[in-house]
Structure 1
Amino acid sequence: MIDDLLHSSGIEHLVFDWNGTLIDDIDLAVCAVNRCGEYFDVAPITAAQYRATFDFPIADFYAALGFDFARAPFPVIVQHYLEHFDAHVAECDLHDGVVEWLAAARRAGIGVSILSASHCDVLVQTLEAKGLLGDFEHVVGLNHNHATSKAAEAAILQKTLGTPPARTLFVGDTLHDYDVACAVGWQPVLVTTGHQDASRLRRSGAPVFDGLGEMLARFAPEPAGAVARGGVRS
């Protein structure tokens, strides 16, 4: 059982990114970016172009797409984006494996939290709409819409957890998630189902999986006669 493997790996807490990691919001994000592009006269992009370009700080991402901040200040663009994204994010499906991971952690007695760059109010509302809010020990988002790093929030969450940072597994979908994990000493794991494509994620050197379902399979017990190995495997 995966909960047995979580115990044997030494993991004491799971922290998940939200957008792109647990919720499949890529199509919505691309649509919202293109609505901004149409409004501010910037060429539309495909999902593949989005995933090859998306990055933090997000202002640099918009600049790379051709948005002119002298003509349209970045906060105005973000507000236009969120007017569409926040109104529809609760309609997005969860990624495969979310329910299974939450159940496994619960059986193993391991706490699960969320660390997201989404505004905390929208994050809580979306989790409530999905019936998931009670499954997370801590739900941490930003208290503003400036589209900045979540590194400071990660540091606060680590202090709140009070466990050895190396015993926390942080699952995300971007290189920023990798950087945040490394900054606080968490074990980073990345999934390719989110906002950056696999080729970019693999440059980090972190374990990369083609989704939460593959992560479940890789944490499954070894075949009979195999030697069990602890820790995160790539």
Structure 2
Amino acid sequence: MTHIVWDWNGTLFHDIDAVVGATNELFQSYGLGPYDAEGFREVYTRPIWVAYERMLGRPLREGEWELLDAGFHDHYHRLMEACSLAEGALSSLRAWEESGRTQSLLSMWGHERLVRKTGEFGIDGHFTRIDGSRSATGGHKAEHMVEHLRALGVDSAKVVVIGDSVDDAHAARHVGARAILYTGGMTRRSELEGVGVPVVDSLADALDLV
């Protein structure tokens, strides 16, 4: 493998406390929660509106998704300021770069915020390309992966995707790349293992597998 496509939220960026905290604030008015990290992982899935329907026990009403999504991000963008890079993120980025191979970042988080945050952490220079979502949030990653690799001009057979969700594995499979899934994010290990790709508990272990 010569190129890694990293995921951001829940992978390089250890933000589960902000995600759970924002979700708890969002659903407090519904009389739900509070969830801890493990409780949240039990209901979490992508697309995120399906997780919200699980929590509510009913389909979302017309216009409700947009309100919930906006509310979540208001809380999340405040709480994430206390979050840091995942353990081993910086050393993994440096080690891969020093090996002479390339890496990029693909996230479903807003593009402008992603670029700004990676710059704040001083890690933007490790990536040959950074792509966040330039449209509404909450969808699947596969089509974004197609565009990301096309823009990079890399052979998908030489790519490994490292992420924390089933969606990351599906996006890798969609383009013919390998995937390694990390347990530090929002998805419980048993669900990750059901995809049939390697599952690791640290980014260092992911790099060793590559």
- How many Å separate the matches in 2 of 1:104 and 1:129? 20
Query: Match for residue 140 of structure 1?
Result: 131
Q: CA deviation at 1:72?
A: 6.4
Greater CA drift, 87-96 or 131-140 = 87-96
Q: What SS does structure 2 have at the residue aligned with 1:204?
A: coil
Q: Is the 8 A contact 1:52 1:200 kept in 2?
A: no
Aligned equivalent of 2:160, options 137, 146, 169: 169
**1:54-93, CA deviations, whole angstroms, 9 ceiling, x for partnerless residues?**
1111111101001763286101001000001123324311
The change in CA–CA distance for 1:87 and 1:145 in structure 2 (over 3 A counts) is farther
Query: Match for residue 14 of structure 2?
Result: 24
Aligned equivalent of 2:46, options 45, 53, 56: 56
- How many Å separate the matches in 1 of 2:2 and 2:204? 21
- Which consecutive unaligned segments of at least 5 residues does structure 2 have? none
- How many Å separate the matches in 2 of 1:176 and 1:215? 17
**1:77-133, CA deviations, whole angstroms, 9 ceiling, x for partnerless residues?**
010000011233243111111112111221122111111110111111211111111
- How many Å separate the matches in 2 of 1:118 and 1:158? 18
Q: How do 1:72-221 and structure 2 match up within 5 A?
A: 73-216=64-207, 218-219=208-209
**1:15-74, CA deviations, whole angstroms, 9 ceiling, x for partnerless residues?**
100011111101110000011101344333221121122111111110100176328610
Q: Is the 8 A contact 2:88 2:204 kept in 1?
A: yes
- How many Å separate the matches in 2 of 1:90 and 1:27? 11
TM-score between both structures, scaled by the size of structure 2: 0.92
- Which consecutive unaligned segments of at least 5 residues does structure 1 have? 1-10, 220-231
Query: Match for residue 47 of structure 1?
Result: 37
Q: What SS does structure 1 have at the residue aligned with 2:9?
A: coil
Tell me how many residue pairs correspond in the alignment.
209
TM-score between both structures, scaled by the size of structure 1: 0.83
Percent identity reads 28
Deviation beyond 6 Å, 4+ runs, structure 1: none
The aligned amino acid for 1:84 is: H
